Structure 1
Amino acid sequence: MNIKVVRGNPTPEELAAALAVVRARAAAAATTPSGAEPPRDAWSDPSRIAAHRVPRPGPTSWTRTYWPS
């Protein structure tokens, strides 16, 4: 793995911290099986919305709408 500093002059501590993050991410990516999706949180799960039936208006629902005159 080659890492090149393009801008700036990082200290050895900053460079070590950046490399630790890159290595940790690479190790985490290597432990997940290929093709597996990351877990979704409840708010972004589309099945949360589709789990309930959406009410549909009836044939006379237009008569119950309110239009101020």
Structure 2
Amino acid sequence: MTDKEPPRLRIVRGDATPEEIAALVIALAARGPAPAGRNTPAETPSPWRDPARRMRKPLAHGPGAWRNSALPI
């Protein structure tokens, strides 16, 4: 930031200590998007969280259906 740019953070009320301002800046920086130059690896979702894992094929009706209901897919 140069001297010509306005401040990006301004305390309107109260008397914040430098530690409180630093904590606020860190919280806001963590909440915002990543900087453009930063390479963050894309997280691949865990197979355990995949909703398709909870689905199964419908069970067939008719003779022998009870036997197929216990077999793995």
TM-score when scaled to structure 2?
Answer: 0.33
Give 1 or 2 for the bigger CA radius of gyration: 2
Q: Could you say which structure has the greater relative contact order, defined with CA pairs below 8 angstroms and 6 or more residues apart?
A: 2
Compare the two structures and name the one with the higher helix fraction. 1
